[in-house]
Amino acid sequence: MPDLQHIQGLPAFLKERIIGQDHVVPRVVPIIQNGELGLSDPGRPKGTFLFLGPTGVGKTEITLLITEYIFKDVQKHCIRLDMSEYQNQESLGLLLGKDESSRGNMGRFYDRAEGRGVILFDEIEKAHPRVLDIFLQVLDAGRITVASGETLNLCEFYIVATSNIGADALMELKNSPMATVERFIEDLAAAELRPEVLARFNVRCVFQKLGYAAQKQIAQIMLNKELKLLRGKGYDLKAGPGVLDLLRSQGVEPRLGVRRMRATAEANCRHAVREALMAGRPTSGTLVAENGHLVIHP
């Protein structure tokens, strides 16, 4: 029997962790809940999603969070395929195997996931047309045949494709209603990916660029995680003046969004502790932003 209480908790879990994309969670959750309750179409993947939008806004993050919540072990159950590695016809051998004795990356990752999990096709617009043909088979029939002749059953997987198509155009549409933005981006995606690919997804979501408040909220989340980790090592720190503004200014990039925010929080907090240790100063106290760095004030 499905764990109903756990399934009911998915919306709150995602809303707490996906910042600045309030329109996405209500679209994604019903498909996941259908899959976990056995209500998805037989002979197809449990759910299929296309996430469109610029880099560093949460497309990959929500995929990893879904894997974590449903399958626990992200490393084991999330099969991440970077489509920039599958841009020519020869790359089919990398994906499916080159001869009858091999099963390619797909077979290897399938075994690791024990036949269930989430498959992420990252930057799907970069895939070779033959790879897209295989992707259509996955979406339609929930299976894929590798070079060895074995057919892998993908009906216990959720399929996610991400794309940056139209990301540059979002700046010109920043004052437009969300429905207008979505139609524009989906039209671009249909032209790039082929309409028959677009039509196969249960859900298509356009992720927005993150505003100032969302960026600062993500900086706070990453800072809290780092402070918790350092507290476990014996360094009792709290955030003081200027810390979030410094992390936001260093952790947000025009082309990468907030993708570097975690690394920025780690680097700055650990710099402060390291400098205090090296100088023989107290390593617990208040973090304060000074001259582009964090320092510890007792």
* Listed residue (153, 133, 156, 157) closest to 144, CA to CA: 153
- pTM equals 0.87
Mean pLDDT (the chain, rounded): 92
> Cα dist. 90→31, 137, 144, 176 in Å?
34, 19, 17, 42
Share of the chain above pLDDT 70, in %: 98
Q: What letter would DSSP give residue 242?
A: T
52-85: pLDDT as tens digits: 988 889 999 999 999 999 999 999 999 999 999 9
What is the sign, positive or negative, of the torsion defined by CA atoms of 108, 114, 115, 118? negative
Q: 130 — phi, psi (to 5°)?
A: -65, -35
> What confidence category does residue 144 fall into, taking pLDDT thresholds of 50, 70 and 90?
very high
Q: What is the pLDDT of residue 171?
A: 67
Q: What is the pLDDT of residue 181?
A: 80
49 torsion bin: left (phi>0), alpha (psi -120 to 50), beta (else): beta
158 torsion bin: left (phi>0), alpha (psi -120 to 50), beta (else): beta
Q: Which residues fall within 8 angstroms of residue 162, CB to CB, at 6 or more apart?
A: 50, 51, 52, 59, 60, 63, 120, 121, 122, 123, 124
Residue 170 pLDDT > 90: no
107-122: pLDDT as tens digits: 999 999 999 999 999 9
Looking at per-residue confidence, does 283 or 2 come out higher? 283
How many C-beta atoms surround the C-beta of residue 289 within 10 A?
20
With the CA atoms of 172, 24, 217 and 80 taken in that order, what torsion angle do they form, in degrees rounded to the nearest 10? -100
Q: Which residues fall within 8 angstroms of residue 179, CB to CB, at 6 or more apart?
A: none
Structural domains present in the chain: 4-206 (3.40.50.300), 212-297 (1.10.8.60)
In the sheet where 237-239 sits, what is the strand order?
237-239, 285-290, 293-297
Share of the chain above pLDDT 90, in %: 72
Q: Output the DSSP codes for 9-45.
A: THHHHHHHHS-S-TTTHHHHHHHHHHHHTT-SPTTS-
210-230: pLDDT as tens digits: 888 999 999 999 999 999 999
